[in-house]
Amino acid sequence: MRDTPLDPYEDLPRDVVVTANDYPARFVYPVHAHRRGQFAFAATGVASVVTESGNWVVPPGRGFWVPAGVSHSMRMSGPVTMLNAFIRPEAAGAARLPTECQVLGVSPLLRDLLVEATDVEPVYAEDQRAGRIMALLLDEIAAMRPLGLNAPLPAEPRLARLCRAVLDEPSLEVDIDEMARRAGMSRRSFTRAFRRETGTSFALWRQQACLLSAIVRLGEGEQVTQIALDLGYGSTSAFSAAFRRVLGASPSRYLKRVADR
């Protein structure tokens, strides 16, 4: 893995720096890391983030927290406008921000603070309005609740390789016995090892992988019916029901709701 070249904001003498970027559809940001923590807010569009330990999807209106030094890649589904808050590790620790990658909710206040912060000069007066905006922004990020929009990856090399292959082509039809055979394990050993490595069963992980793929494809404008069939659901209604059970809304309404927010 490699790091990106030094960014100008890395050494700025301020705890929080906010930037705004527009990315075209399917833009891929290769593996990189920052010396600051990154809170990436998807103002529009859907972003996917991959690290050595997992795969996350960030719908519109949600944010993604990457602690300092964590190598990650990003892929945009559809055009994406992203507002980024880069936070010094010391400030992130003092605010008790997560020590692991997470998708986080974004309140209307946090969204407005991020938008306002994009107009703040990089070296702002910490004891004036700009400094208070940045301090409140940091407090609000720390108050956001985590969202389970990820598929954890096992550390065990055989399982990790198989899981990455499933993430590339997720389907409910991926057979657990075939996965165990390809891992060189019995079904019982595979299921035990998988739960130990990921904290969940393979069946639930497979369903989560399918839902993450669905969010990405919806963000690219694909039709719900085609997504449902490709992911192995028996019908569009079955797919919508599973989507609603986990994410609280039908596929199309979910993306519209978070975009409106």
Among 86, 113, 147, the domain boundary falls at: 147
Indicate whether 127 and 177 sit together in one domain. no
At residue 88, the pLDDT reads 96
Q: Are strands 150-152 and 102-104 parallel, antiparallel or unpaired?
A: unpaired
At residue 87, the pLDDT reads 97
Task: Say how many C-beta atoms besides its own lie within 10 A of residue 222's C-beta.
Answer: 14
10-residue block means of pLDDT along the chain (261 residues)?
53 93 93 95 93 92 95 93 96 96 95 96 94 97 93 93 94 94 95 95 94 90 91 92 84 70 54
Indicate whether 141 and 172 sit together in one domain. no
Indicate whether 132 and 183 sit together in one domain. no
Indicate whether 143 and 157 sit together in one domain. no
End-to-end CA distance of the chain: 35
At residue 37, the pLDDT reads 97
At residue 78, the pLDDT reads 84
Question: What's the CATH number where 244 sits?
Answer: 1.10.10.60
Indicate whether 77 and 180 sit together in one domain. no
Contact status, residue 54 vs residue 153, Cβ threshold 8 Å: yes
At residue 32, the pLDDT reads 93
Which range of residues forms the domain containing residue 192? Answer: 153-260
Our count of domains for the chain comes to 2
